[in-house]
Amino acid sequence: MAMATSHYEIFYNEKRAATDLRKYRKKGPIPSTRALIEALIAEGVEGATLLDIGGGIGAIQHELIDAGVAYATSVEASTPYLDAAREESQRRGQYDRVTYLHGDFVELADSVPPAEIVALDRVINVYPDWERLAELAAARAERLFGLVYPRDTRMVRVVIFAMNLLLRLLRKPVRASVRPHDAIERVARERGLISRFSRSVGPWQIAIFRRA
Which tens digits make up the pLDDT trace of 81-123? 999 999 999 999 999 999 999 999 999 999 999 999 999 999 9
- Looking at residue 109, what DSSP letter applies? G
C-alpha to C-alpha distance for 45 and 48, rounded to whole angstroms: 5
> In percent, how much of the chain has pLDDT > 90?
80
Those residues whose C-beta lies under 8 Å from the C-beta of residue 20, and which sit 6 or more positions away, are 56, 57, 81, 84
C-alpha to C-alpha distance for 63 and 202, rounded to whole angstroms: 21
Cβ atoms within 10 Å, residue 155: 9
- Residue ranges and CATH numbers for the domains of the chain are 5-211 (3.40.50.150)
Q: Helices (H) and strands (E) in the chain — how many of each?
A: 9, 7
Alpha-carbon Rg for the chain, nearest whole angstrom, is 16
C-alpha to C-alpha distance for 53 and 73, rounded to whole angstroms: 8
Pick from 78-82, 143-147, 160-164: least confident: 160-164
Q: How far is CA 87 from CA 26, 92, 98, 112, 179, in A?
A: 15, 9, 12, 22, 32
Mean of pLDDT values over 138-161: 94
Q: What is the pLDDT of residue 2?
A: 36
Which tens digits make up the pLDDT trace of 42-80? 999 999 999 999 999 999 999 999 999 999 999 999 999
| Residue 91 near residue 22 (C-beta atoms within 8 A) | no
Which tens digits make up the pLDDT trace of 164-198? 788 788 787 778 889 999 999 999 999 999 999 99
Distance of CA 170 to the CA centre of its chain: 25
Phi (first) and psi of residue 95, to 5 degrees: -60, -35
Binning pLDDT at 50, 70 and 90, where does residue 212 land?
Answer: confident
- Residue 1 pLDDT greater than 70, yes or no: no
> What integer best gives the mean pLDDT of the chain?
92
| Strand blocks (E) in the chain | 49-53, 71-76, 98-102, 115-121, 141-150, 193-201, 204-211
What pTM does this model have?
0.92
| Residue 151 near residue 207 (C-beta atoms within 8 A) | no
